[in-house]
Amino acid sequence: MSLKQGIGSVVYLKKRIPKNEKYQHVKTRLDTGCSLSKYMERLEDIKKNYRYQNNEIFKRLKVTTFAQLILQVASVSDLNESEIDGESHCPEGK
């Protein structure tokens, strides 16, 4: 009598399960901890969003967007100054 021999064959344990293309997008809900697939997924995410970090309060701007913002602020401040200086066009007869 041998205790090593179990029920079934070892071949069945080594056999890979075929993957169905229809369900490739479905991910598991079970969190089993650290794994190579999670690590590779995290690396891909870091490569995709390398400019942004989790602890940043504000989003980063492109240089062109920043220049447009400065021009808009300057034009608004010029309008405010012209309104302050140009109050004489209001009727003073009161």
pLDDT of residue 74: 93
In the chain, % of residues over pLDDT 90: 18
pLDDT at 93 over 80: no
C-alpha–C-alpha distance, residues 65 and 27, integer Å: 37
**Dihedral sign of CA atoms 51, 54, 56, 57 in order:** positive
**What are the residue ranges spanned by the domains of the chain?**
10-85
